[in-house]
Amino acid sequence: MSRIKELMQKTIRTIKEEGIIALVKKCFRFIYFRLSKVSRKYDNCFKDVLFINGCSLPHPQRYRVTHQIEQLESYGLSCDKIDYDQLTLDKIRYFRAFVFYRCPIIPVVEEFIKIAKEHNKTIFYDIDDLVFDLEHTKEIKFLDTMSKEERNLYNDGVIRMGKTLDLCEYAIASTKRLQTEMSKHVKEVYINRNVASEDMVKYSEIALQEVNKDSGKVIMGYLSGSITHNDDFKLIMPTIIKLLKKYDNLYLQIVGLLDLPNEMKEVSDKVLTSPFMDWKELPKLIRSIDINLAPLEDTIFNEAKSENKWTEAALVKIPTVASNVGAFKEAIVDNVTGLLCNDEKDWEKNLSKLIEDSEFREKLADNSYVEVMKKHITTNSGRGVAEFIKSKLRKNICFVLPSPNISGGNLVALKHGLILKKHGYDVTLINVNKQTRKVDKLYEKDDYLFVVPKYRTEFLAYVDTMVATMWLTLEVVQKYYNCKTKKYLVQNMEAGFYKPGEFEKKRANATYCNVLNIDYLTISKWCKNWLKDDFNVNCKYAPNGIDLKIFPQRKRTFDGKIKILIEGNCEDHYKNVDESFQITNKLDHLKYEIHYLSYQKEPKKWYYVDKFYHKIPHDEVGKIYQYCDILIKTSILESFSYPPLEMMATGGFVVALQNGGNAEYLKNDCNALTYEQGNIDEAISKIEEIVTNKSLREKLEKNGLKTAKEYEWKKIEKQILALYE
């Protein structure tokens, strides 16, 4: 019954305030949202890490993007990926960190990194080859076979990858050599070795079950593609030929071979070839061999290569014989999880032993399988890289707004967010209003914060602190599961916004009862005292502030017409705007000019208004205050009342009702004049007193400017920061 009563109240209110057409539109929207709720897709995701892939080859990006995402998600970080040529600046708002994998510099990448850094996002670079420095790529002999144009194009890519690396703060490498070389470019490099995915394990298990070996054959496998110009294979080719001749049951399996080197023609009948194949099918081929070959020339470039060959073979219980170089040297325990070779003599000795001793082959294979399953699978190896990334993330704070429209409460949240951003926090504004979800930024002069719409956005990112900024937003904060600290910035007695009998009144009131683990904050001393007295809630307090650059001073001369300013939404009863116009309607309109500023509703028909300002950008409001002479402010309920302070900052004058929101700075006959609520004649006399008494104006102006300077934001930044520590 309670819910039905609330719906009835909303219906009646909508008809009265907005009309029957607005009611019909809202009903259709409600029905649409309800019907589409189950099947609704998300437009965006708010996550922890975005991988930006700059590599077109499927194998490297699978290991360094897809597998690392699986690692991080297994350890609590939400991730997504995008190709670098599809990257847009809009992605910055939806992630806390970005990993650029093999990305060459292009204008959008450069601009993306610049803006992301400005908003305290963390930028990583990831690569699994020494292809960001021409000093190292000159060791690649294959490049000598390229034409001049091809080589220049390749070199340009290397240079541009190096430029992106230099723009990043941190890096992730697959090997120690890469770590050493990348450390010359960034603050810190973490080694996260290539590991197998859960799908690789799945397809390897299938291969173990389904592949039946020919016990009469021993097959060596070289699974690296064409060997025609492969200098790695040439290291062992004489040994391979010698062994193929020596052992009748010995064969060589090659994947992707186009044609044999001339030296191997005499043993071509013992060479088996297979075309390149999908990685899902590769485990069956590897399982069909008996010995995995992994020769590697001893160069700095090769030291940076990963141990993928050993990992993939170990998954299907095939032993690996590898060069004692780089990642193989780091990953393989010699004579335990594989065999390492320093020269041709080692290759012949180790291969002969494996060919002749099937039990030894099986022992090495089993050991390598146990090792890889224990330490080299995504789901059991991601803790290190996850902790590294987490340790580099800036603290993030999300302010949940009822809408991104201009309002005092939203401007306070914006200012707090900008101060936090200035001091290194990653700050996001979350808009819960469906009708204004397209607003993407909130500005204060030249600085801004990103706005993320709650509607049609999937929220998965870890949040250090989430802040409710109005009673309607507290439920969003309470329900968000992936948040360390939850706060409620109480800026007013919001239950007082509603008339007696309106259901929102009791719901707003209930949010002040601290039944959950919420930290209460406020920007008003009276709110702090009220929460303690009425709800026994301890509340942290920091004063509100003002940006004096937006409200520059202008000396009033009172020549010509006196310009009176009224500010506030006339539909909000607690703003008491009607009383302001009851005062100004009685003034002599030949002597006084009435200006009205409202961010929402337009003036009522009976208001006398010479000039109306509607939905003025916040950084333009100061010009209106500066242009006018006297502000009349008749609100009966305010948290921290900005307009009187803003008028005083420009050197103007204030006639106001005293309320909790201005009591801590507004002093009668010192920096402003106050009157008793409802006493229209008293208010008019106060206006006339300011106009006729020059010495009073000088006193009010002097003290008003002094008061405004005391509340300048830069003077209270430390107190604001303390609220969120």
- For residue 620, the model assigns a pLDDT of 87
Least-confidence region, from 48-57, 308-317, 616-625, 682-691: 616-625
* Chain-centre distance for alpha carbon 424: 14
Q: What is the mean pLDDT of residues 453-462?
A: 94
Structure confidence at residue 7 (pLDDT) = 64
124 neighbors 389 (Cβ within 8 angstroms): yes
Q: Please state whether beta strands 122-127 and 170-173 pair in parallel, antiparallel, or not at all (unpaired).
A: parallel
* Angstrom distance (rounded) from CA 145 to CA 142: 6
Looking at the predicted structure, is the pLDDT value of residue 37 above 90? Answer: no
Mean pLDDT of 573-577: 91
Left if phi > 0, otherwise alpha if psi is -120 to 50, otherwise beta: which for 2?
Answer: alpha
Task: Tokens for 672, please give them.
Answer: 């402003």
- How confident is the model over 67-89, as pLDDT tens digits? 999 999 999 999 999 999 999 99
Which positions ≥6 away from 627 have C-beta within 8 Å? 563, 595
Which CATH code fits 45-191?
Answer: 3.40.50.2000
Give me the residue label for tokens 């470039």: 301
Per-residue pLDDT at 236 exceeds 90: yes
Residue 438 confidence (pLDDT) = 77
Q: Write out 150-171 in H/E/C secondary structure.
A: HHHHHHHHHHHHHHHHHHCCEE
Render pLDDT for 668-723 as a digit per residue (tens, 0 to 9).
Answer: 999 999 999 999 999 999 999 999 999 999 999 999 999 999 999 889 999 999 99
Phi and psi at residue 543, to the nearest 5°: -65, 160
Print burial letters for 114-123: b (CB count within 10 Å at least 16), e (below 16).
Answer: eebeebbbbb
pLDDT, tens digit, 9 for 90 and up, residues 86-145: 999 999 999 999 999 999 999 999 999 999 999 999 999 999 999 998 888 877 777 878
Per-residue confidence (pLDDT) for residue 6, from 0 to 100: 61
**338 - beta bridge partners?**
334
pLDDT digits (tens, 9 = 90+) for 164-191: 999 999 999 999 999 999 999 999 999 9
pLDDT of 31: 57
pLDDT in tens, 647-667: 999 999 999 999 888 888 999
Examine the pLDDT at 627 and tell me if it is beyond 90: yes
Is the pLDDT assigned to residue 10 strictly greater than 90? no
How far apart, in whole angstroms, are the C-alpha atoms of residue 56 and residue 77?
A: 25
Q: What CATH fold (topology level) applies to the domain 198-376?
A: Rossmann fold (3.40.50)
Calculate what percentage of the chain has a pLDDT beyond 90.
Answer: 71
**Mean pLDDT to the nearest integer, 233-241:** 93
pLDDT on residue 228? 41
**CA–CA dist 466, 486 (Å, integer):** 5
Which has more confidence, 1 or 449?
Answer: 449
The predicted model gives 539-543 an average pLDDT of: 93
| C-alpha distance from residue 616 to each of 412, 579, 623, 640 (Å) | 17, 23, 10, 20
Rounded to two decimals, the pTM is: 0.85
Question: Mapping DSSP to helix (H, G, I), strand (E, B) and coil, where does residue 596 land?
Answer: strand
Please identify, in words, the CATH class of the domain defined by 394-541: alpha beta
Tell me the domain boundaries of the chain.
2-36, 45-191, 198-376, 394-541, 562-717
Beta strands in 491-568 (DSSP E): 519-522, 539-541, 562-567
Give CA separation, 582 vs 477, 569, 607, 610, 680, in Å: 41, 15, 8, 15, 7
CB 612 within 8 A of CB 602: yes
- What confidence tier does 4 reach under pLDDT thresholds 50, 70, 90? low
Look up residue 224 and give its amino acid: S
pLDDT at site 256? 74
What are the pLDDT digits (tens) for 509-533? 888 887 678 999 998 888 899 999 9
What type of residue is 640?
F
Model confidence band, residue 218 (pLDDT cutoffs 50, 70, 90) = very high
Q: Which two tokens stand for residue 420?
A: 């936090």
Average pLDDT over residues 432-445: 82
pLDDT at 215: 86
Q: Where are the beta strands (DSSP E) in 599-696?
A: 611-614, 630-633, 653-656, 673-674
Structure letter (DSSP) for residue 668: B
- Residue keyed to tokens 């979350």: 430
Domains 394-541 and 562-717 share a fold: yes
pLDDT in tens, 475-490: 999 999 999 999 999 9
Q: State the chain's mean pLDDT as an integer.
A: 91
pLDDT of residue 203: 98
The average pLDDT across 486-512 equals 85
Give the whole-angstrom CA distance, residue 132 versus residue 19. 65
Residue 107 has a CB neighbour count (10 Å cut-off) of 7
pLDDT at 517: 81
Angle at 306 between CA 303 and CA 311, to 5 degrees: 140
Assess contact for 626 and 556: CB atoms under 8 A: no
If you average pLDDT over residues 411-427, what whole number do you get? 95
Strands of the sheet with 320-323, listed across from one edge: 271-274, 250-255, 218-222, 291-294, 320-323, 339-341
The residue with tokens 């995995």 is: 292
Strand partners, 172: 126, 190
- How crowded is residue 668: how many other Cβ atoms within 10 Å of its Cβ? 12
> In angstroms, rounded to a whole number, what is the distance separating the alpha carbons of residues 206 and 155?
42
> Taking the CB of residue 544, how many other CB atoms lie within 10 A of it?
25
276-306 per-position pLDDT tens digit = 889 999 999 999 999 999 999 998 888 999 9
Q: Would you state the pLDDT for residue 275?
A: 85
- Range from 43-47, 382-386, 429-433, 661-665 carrying the lowest mean pLDDT: 661-665
Percent of the chain predicted with pLDDT > 70: 93
pLDDT at 38: 44
Q: For helices 577-584 and 680-692, what crossing angle results, to 10°?
A: 60
Report helix, strand or coil for 190. strand
Question: Quick one: pLDDT at residue 28?
Answer: 61
**Residue whose C-alpha is closest to residue 407's, from 427, 431, 434, 440:** 431
Structure tokens at 418: 């900008």
Report which of 581, 702, 604 is spatially closest to residue 652, judged by C-alpha positions.
Answer: 702
Please state, in angstroms and rounded to a whole number, the distance separating the CA atoms of residues 262 and 245: 16
- 642-649 and 694-710 helices, crossing angle to 10°: 110
Q: What is the topology classification, in CATH, of domain 562-717?
A: Rossmann fold (3.40.50)
Residue 137: predicted pLDDT: 83
User: 121: helix, coil or strand?
Assistant: coil
